[in-house]
């Protein structure tokens, strides 16, 4: 009876929406419900071609009909239901103009214009002399249109020729003709012709043709060849200016390093300094001249190249010391050839600044809290565009669960110096548009876990950061030092440590000294409309290997190496994070992630340091399981019947797979449906955690969870509320690990044991 009532209510709501949507329309008005496109061809056309052409034509139809939710025009219904608000604010105004959507009224003028647009698209795609017919049907004040395209065969390219003159411009075009987009036998397509002109222009710009423009090229098309074929001949327009046909070189290069609108550039010859072929105008000597010889790409007598032009501008911008960057070219007055004088106008940003920051955070271990920080920045510390930062911060984190309420306070100070070049005995060059950097950093942090203990952490790093492009970044830390020393351990907490190895390892004294390398690829680093986007982050972490190799350290034989009475951690660790984003529509995407990681301790160590171990479960992990409490393998640390607090479970291997469907509901509210799977394992056998070792039966020990959630995208941040439940529990006996048949939302005890609510900031991946 309950299900029948739901069905009847849904059906009634649907018909109510349908009827009320046209009730307020005038007698001569009709609601536009959309249009279909049909293709009828007298010649053979493949299913894929027909589908693509139909999709293209469908996308050109205007206006777009009112949106639907589950087949009903709910937004239009809300718009009509809200009536006419008396005020420009309030609930009714918000419902009508923010949530609602006005009716899309059918217009014959717009529908006929669509016919002309579709006809034009057919011609642009090589379907000449074809016809598009419009047919409309009106029922219950609703108009639906059908466009039928009657087409013959698509015209294809028979021959392509390029300018055959003996002048410099024609010869340059001939040299790049082999890579043309206009291939013999390919379909005629106006977009491809436009792309070919852009391709030629881009190549010419890199060969010195500074004043050239793609509009100076014209493609004459002869469709009288027969057999639905065309001949194409590309020509240089007669109206092309003489300057556009010349290749230019760079003559004088002048850099105004402290430019503003009140600068008198006529005094450049008095206030300038010549350095490495550049004329530097910097009256107050704010910058060392050598930073420009390292950063700028053009040298005197170089052929103009647009790629180098853009690369230099990007380098100047990403140095972080200039607020505005501009380059200007003008013809040189030299009589020795075609030359351009180059002028860089650089406006420095504020050299020093103080920044106060308040941060709200949510971590994967279910901790929430905030941090207050103050940072002092000097953007030109040694007059070489170095960025020096010194900062202090303090924060509080609180971890709240059904089993505990634990808090942590932390205070710290950091110093870093970023130098815009690679400081190395080896020659290091990059052709990227981004300036490589050498980074030095020192830090101290004080952790205080309630009244239980205090941790003192000291860090130091020296390494390099360089980018191949906006999408690809490398970070190599030549040396990374991390020293952690516990103190002020409460006697009561010490008793817990003595009986719990996991707690002991979480605050163990550690000395990590080694190197790390990280590579990041992110195709979403710049806005794009690609259907597929990717993210990859790979990390390699080595510690104590050189020390262990020199000393022959072997913990199994009792031979260890210590610094400050602390054994040096020796291990090798690698982790890869791969993500794929499949765009379904503007606001809908299927996001997937695969994580694989492994670490192996040897020589001077028997286990990975706690801060380098792998964990599973949490708000950004396998969300149906409590934070960092899943695994390892089929081991379960608590009592499944009462679900006590589960201590963190560090391990050596991690495999995880996540996927979720993201869609927009309305306004800033997003919705997601997700599934997570994975687990962690130990490499060595652990007698205290039976079932934890990684074997060839690892798939049988995989945990699976499913869930749904809401995300509130507020632009500056995303608030996320997820609810998840396990459907496969790896600690149960084999054959009983799938628990889908045990789902019982009406059982309070089942909900307490299985429903996990995650409140977090940001998307999980």
- For residues 268 and 215, membership in a common domain is answered with no
- Same domain membership, residue 138 and residue 34: yes
Instruction: Name, in order, each residue with C-beta under 8 angstroms of 512's C-beta and a sequence gap of 6 or more.
Output: 480, 481, 482, 483, 543, 544, 568, 569, 609, 612
294 and 236: one domain?
Answer: no
pLDDT at 758: 87
Q: What is the pLDDT of residue 96?
A: 86
Using one digit for the tens of pLDDT, what is the confidence trace for 503-516?
A: 677 778 889 999 99
Q: What is the mean pLDDT of residues 591-617?
A: 93
d(CA 254, CA 21): 67
CB 730 within 8 A of CB 629: no
pLDDT band of residue 289 (cuts 50, 70, 90) is: very high
298 and 324 in a common domain: yes
Q: Where is 316: in which H helix or E strand?
A: helix 306-318
SS (H, E, C) 399-422: EECCCCEEEEEEEEEEEEEEECCC
At 158-214, the pLDDT tens digits run: 999 999 888 999 999 999 999 999 999 999 999 999 999 999 999 999 999 999 999
Residue 38 lies in a domain: yes
Q: In terms of Cα–Cα distance, which of 153, 162, 152 is closest to 199?
A: 162
Tokens at residue 686, please? 């652990």
- Do 53 and 114 share a domain, yes or no? yes
For 99, which DSSP code?
Answer: I
> Is 517 inside a domain boundary?
no
Given this model, what pLDDT does residue 475 score? 96
Q: Which residue has the higher pLDDT, 204 or 363?
A: 204
Q: Nearest 5°: CA angle at 749, between 747 and 755?
A: 85
> From residue 421, how far is each of 4, 315, 383, 426 by CA, in Å?
72, 12, 13, 12
| Cis peptide bond N-terminal to 328, omega within 30 | no
Dump the DSSP string for 460-521.
EEEEEEEESSSSEEEEEEEEEEEEEEEE---HHHHHHHHH-HHHHHHT--EEEEEEEEEEEE
* pLDDT of 398 above 70: no
* 714 and 734 part of one domain: yes
Nearest to 190 by CA among 125, 128, 122, 141: 125
More confident residue, 716 or 682: 682
Contacts of 403 (CB under 8 A, 6+ apart): 643, 644, 645, 646
- Better-scored residue on pLDDT, 679 or 649: 679
Query: What is the mean pLDDT of the segment spanning 325-339?
Result: 89
Query: In sequence order, what E strands does 332-403 have?
Result: 339-348, 352-362, 367-378, 387-400
610-639: pLDDT as tens digits: 889 999 998 899 999 988 888 899 998 766
Q: H or E segment at 161?
A: strand 156-161
CB 612 within 8 A of CB 603: no
Single out the residue of 455, 458, 382 nearest to residue 414, CA to CA: 458
Helix (H) or strand (E) holding 21: helix 2-23
d(CA 75, CA 523) in angstroms, rounded, equals: 34
- How far apart (Å, rounded) are the C-alpha atoms in residues 242 and 168? 11
Taking only the tens place, the pLDDT of each residue in 743-763 is 999 899 899 889 999 888 889
Nearest residue to 622 (alpha-carbon basis) of 578, 673, 676: 676
pLDDT score recorded for residue 546 = 85
Same domain, 119 and 188: no
pLDDT at 362 over 70: no
For residue 533, what are the contacts with CB-CB under 8 A and spacing of at least 6? 523, 524, 580, 581, 583
Residue 440 has pLDDT above 80, yes or no: yes
Residue scoring higher pLDDT (479 or 19):
479
Please determine, for residue 268, whether its predicted confidence score (pLDDT) is greater than 70: no
Quote the pLDDT of residue 165.
Answer: 87
C-alpha–C-alpha distance, residues 247 and 210, integer Å: 7
Let me know whether 280 and 343 are in one domain: yes
Locate 471 and state its tokens: 């999408």
Which candidate, 457, 435, 437, 433, places its Cα nearest to that of 445?
Answer: 457
Query: Does the pLDDT at position 330 exceed 80?
Result: yes
Domain membership of residue 88 (yes or no) is no
pLDDT at 627: 82
* Count of structural domains within the chain: 4
User: Of 207-211, 276-280, 451-455, 653-657, which range is least confident?
Assistant: 451-455
CA distances to 486, 502, 504, 507, 757 from 494, rounded to whole Å, are 12, 13, 9, 11, 32
pLDDT at 13 > cutoff 50: no
What integer best gives the mean pLDDT of the chain?
A: 88
Rounded (10°) CA dihedral 485, 491, 496, 497: 20
The percent helix, strand, coil of the chain (3-state, each to 5) is: 20, 40, 35
Length of the chain: 765
pLDDT score recorded for residue 646 = 56
Model confidence, pTM: 0.79
> Alpha helices of 61-124 — where are they, by DSSP H?
74-81, 91-94, 108-124
- Sequence-distant (≥ 6) Cβ neighbours of residue 420 within 8 angstroms: 291, 294, 295, 319, 384, 385, 386, 435, 436, 437
Return the minimum-mean-pLDDT range out of 607-616, 631-640, 676-685, 703-712.
631-640
Nearest-CA neighbor of 764 among 640, 627, 664? 627
Per-residue buried b or exposed e for 189-216, using 16+ beta carbons within 10 Å of the residue's own CB = beebbeebbebbbebbbbbbbbbbeeeb
Q: Is residue 687 part of a domain?
A: yes
Cite the beta strand spans of 257-351 per DSSP E.
272-275, 278-281, 322-331, 339-348
First to last CA, the chain: 42
| Residue 256 belongs to a domain | yes
Is the Cβ–Cβ distance between 513 and 658 less than 8 Å?
Answer: no
* Token couple for 563: 């610094």
pLDDT of the residue at 36? 95
Q: What pLDDT does residue 642 have? A: 55
408 pLDDT higher than 80? no
The residue assigned the tokens 């607020």 is: 323
Region 444-466: what's the mean pLDDT?
87
696: nearest Cα among 756, 645, 755, 653: 653
Q: How far apart are CA 406 and CA 582, in angstroms?
A: 39
Mean pLDDT of 39-48: 88
Same domain, 289 and 188: no
Both structure tokens of 492: 């009561």
Is the CB of residue 589 less than 8 Å from the CB of residue 582? yes
With H, G, I as helix, E, B as strand and everything else as coil, classify residue 610. Answer: helix
In a domain, 587, yes or no: no
What are 281's two structure tokens? 């105008």
- Does pLDDT of 404 surpass 50? no
Question: What contacts 185, CB < 8 A, 6 or more positions away?
Answer: 156, 157
Alpha-carbon gap, residue 224 to 156, rounded angstroms? 12
Predicted confidence band of residue 11 (pLDDT cuts 50, 70, 90): very low
Cis, peptide link before residue 257, omega less than 30° from 0: no
pLDDT of residue 14: 46
Check whether 455 has a pLDDT greater than 50.
yes
* Residue 228 phi, psi (nearest 5): 55, 50
Residues whose CB is less than 8 angstroms from the CB of residue 474 and which lie 6 or more positions away in sequence, other chains included: 464, 465, 466, 467, 468, 517, 518, 519, 520
Mean pLDDT of all residues in 9-30: 66
Does residue 116 sit in helix, strand or coil? helix
Does residue 38 contact residue 46 with C-beta atoms inside 8 Å? no
Under 8 Å between Cβ of 439 and 418: yes
3-state secondary structure 539-561: EEEEECHHHHHHHCCEHHHCECC
Q: Is the pLDDT of residue 117 over 70?
A: yes
Q: Tell me how crowded residue 570 is: count the other CB atoms within 10 A of its CB.
A: 28
Domain range enclosing 334: 249-348
Same domain, 241 and 253: no
Residues 762 and 656 in one domain: yes
Range 402-418 average pLDDT: 76
In a domain, 11, yes or no: no
Is 40 domain-assigned?
A: yes
Of 245, 273, 290, the residue that ends a domain is 245
Domain boundary among 297, 326, 348: 348
Report the pLDDT value the prediction gives residue 9, as an integer from 0 to 100: 42
Q: The dihedral of CA 483, 487, 490, 496: what is its sign?
A: positive
| CB of 542 closer than 8 Å to CB of 477 | no
At 255, give phi and psi (nearest 5°): -115, 115
Lowest mean pLDDT among 90-94, 259-263, 265-269: 265-269
What is the predicted pLDDT for the residue at 264?
67
Name 72's Cβ contacts closer than 8 Å, sequence gap at least 6. Answer: 13, 14, 17, 18
Is 233 found in the same domain as 126? Answer: no
Last residue of a domain, which of 221, 245, 269?
Answer: 245
Q: Is the pLDDT of residue 539 over 90?
A: yes
pLDDT given at position 353:
93
397 near 363, Cβ under 8 Å?
A: yes
**Beta carbons of 118 and 147 less than 8 angstroms apart:** yes
Question: In this structure, what CATH number is given to the domain that contains residue 270?
Answer: 3.10.20.310
For residue 679, pLDDT over 90 is answered with: yes
Task: Assign 564 a pLDDT band (cuts: 50, 70, 90).
Answer: confident
In terms of Cα–Cα distance, which of 421, 428, 460 is closest to 441? 460
């Amino acid at each position: 009876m309950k299900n029948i009532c739901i069905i009847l209510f849904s059906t009634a709501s649907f018909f109510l929406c349908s009827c009320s949507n046209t009730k307020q329309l005038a007698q001569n008005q009709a609601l536009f419900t959309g249009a279909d496109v049909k293709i009828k061809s007298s010649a053979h056309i493949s299913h894929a071609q027909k589908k693509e052409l139909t999709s293209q034509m469908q996308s050109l139809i205007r206006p777009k009909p009112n949106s639907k939710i589950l087949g009903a025009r709910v937004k239009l219904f809300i718009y009509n239901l809200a009536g006419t608000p008396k005020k420009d604010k309030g609930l009714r105004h918000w419902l009508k103009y923010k949530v609602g959507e006005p009716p899309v009224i059918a217009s014959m003028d717009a529908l006929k214009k669509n016919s002309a647009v579709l006809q034009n698209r057919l011609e642009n795609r090589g379907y000449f002399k074809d016809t598009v017919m419009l047919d409309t049907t009106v029922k219950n004040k609703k108009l639906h249109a059908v466009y039928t395209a009657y087409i013959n065969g698509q015209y294809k390219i028979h021959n392509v020729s390029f300018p055959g003159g003996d002048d410099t411009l024609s010869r340059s075009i001939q040299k790049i003709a082999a890579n043309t987009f206009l291939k013999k036998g390919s379909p005629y397509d106006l977009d491809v012709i436009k792309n070919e002109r852009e391709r030629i222009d881009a190549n010419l710009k890199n060969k010195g043709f500074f004043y050239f423009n793609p509009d100076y090229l014209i493609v004459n098309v002869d469709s009288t060849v027969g057999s639905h074929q065309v001949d194409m001949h590309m020509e240089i327009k007669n109206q092309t200016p003489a300057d556009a046909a010349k290749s230019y070189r760079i003559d004088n290069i002048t850099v105004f390093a402290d430019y503003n609108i009140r600068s008198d550039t006529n005094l450049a010859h008095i206030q300038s300094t010549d350095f490495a072929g550049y004329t530097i105008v910097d009256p107050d000597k704010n910058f060392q001249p050598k930073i420009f010889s390292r950063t700028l790409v053009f040298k005197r007598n170089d052929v103009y190249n647009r790629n180098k032009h853009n690369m230099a501008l990007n380098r100047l911008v990403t140095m972080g010391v200039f607020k505005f960057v501009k380059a200007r070219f003008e013809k040189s007055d030299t009589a020795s050839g075609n030359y351009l004088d180059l002028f860089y106008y650089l406006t420095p940003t504020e050299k020093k600044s103080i920044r106060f920051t308040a941060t709200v955070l949510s971590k994967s271990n279910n901790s929430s809290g905030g941090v207050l920080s103050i940072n002092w920045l000097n953007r030109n510390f040694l007059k070489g565009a170095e960025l020096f930062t010194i900062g202090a911060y303090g924060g509080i984190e609180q971890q709240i669960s059904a089993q505990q309420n634990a808090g942590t306070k932390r205070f710290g100070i950091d110093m870093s110096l970023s130098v815009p070049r690679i400081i190395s005995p080896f020659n290091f060059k990059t052709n990227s548009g981004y300036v490589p950097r050498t980074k030095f950093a020192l830090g101290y942090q004080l952790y205080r876990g309630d009244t239980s203990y205090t941790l003192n952490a000291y860090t130091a790093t020296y390494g390099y950061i360089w980018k191949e492009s906006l999408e690809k970044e490398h970070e190599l830390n030549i040396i990374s030092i991390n020293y952690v020393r516990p103190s002020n351990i409460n006697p009561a907490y010490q008793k817990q440590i003595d009986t719990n190895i996991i707690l002991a390892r979480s605050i163990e004294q550690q000395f990590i000294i080694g190197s790390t390398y990280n590579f990041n690829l992110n195709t979403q680093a710049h806005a794009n409309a690609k259907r597929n986007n990717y993210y990859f982050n790979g990390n390699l972490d080595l510690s104590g290997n050189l020390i262990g190799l020199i000393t022959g350290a072997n913990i199994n034989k009792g031979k260890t190496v210590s610094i400050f009475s602390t054994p040096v951690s020796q291990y090798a660790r690698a982790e890869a994070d791969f993500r794929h984003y499949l765009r379904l529509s503007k606001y809908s995407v299927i996001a997937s992630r695969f994580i694989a990681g492994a670490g192996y301790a040897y020589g001077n160590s028997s286990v990975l340091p706690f801060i380098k171990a792998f964990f599973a479960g949490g708000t950004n992990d396998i969300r149906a399981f409590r934070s960092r409490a899943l695994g390892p393998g089929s081991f379960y640390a608590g009592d499944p019947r009462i679900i006590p607090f589960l201590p963190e479970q560090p391990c050596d291997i991690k495999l995880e797979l996540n996927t979720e469907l993201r869609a927009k509901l309305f306004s800033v509210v997003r919705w997601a449906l997700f599934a997570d799977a994975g687990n962690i394992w130990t490499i060595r056998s652990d007698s205290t955690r039976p079932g934890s070792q990684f074997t060839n039966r690892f798939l049988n020990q995989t945990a699976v969870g499913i869930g749904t959630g809401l995300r509130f995208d507020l632009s500056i941040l995303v608030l996320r509320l997820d609810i998840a439940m396990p459907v496969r529990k790896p600690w149960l006996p084999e054959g009983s690990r799938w628990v889908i048949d045990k789902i019982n939302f009406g059982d309070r005890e089942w909900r307490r044991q299985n429903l996990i609510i995650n409140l977090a900031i940001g998307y999980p991946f």
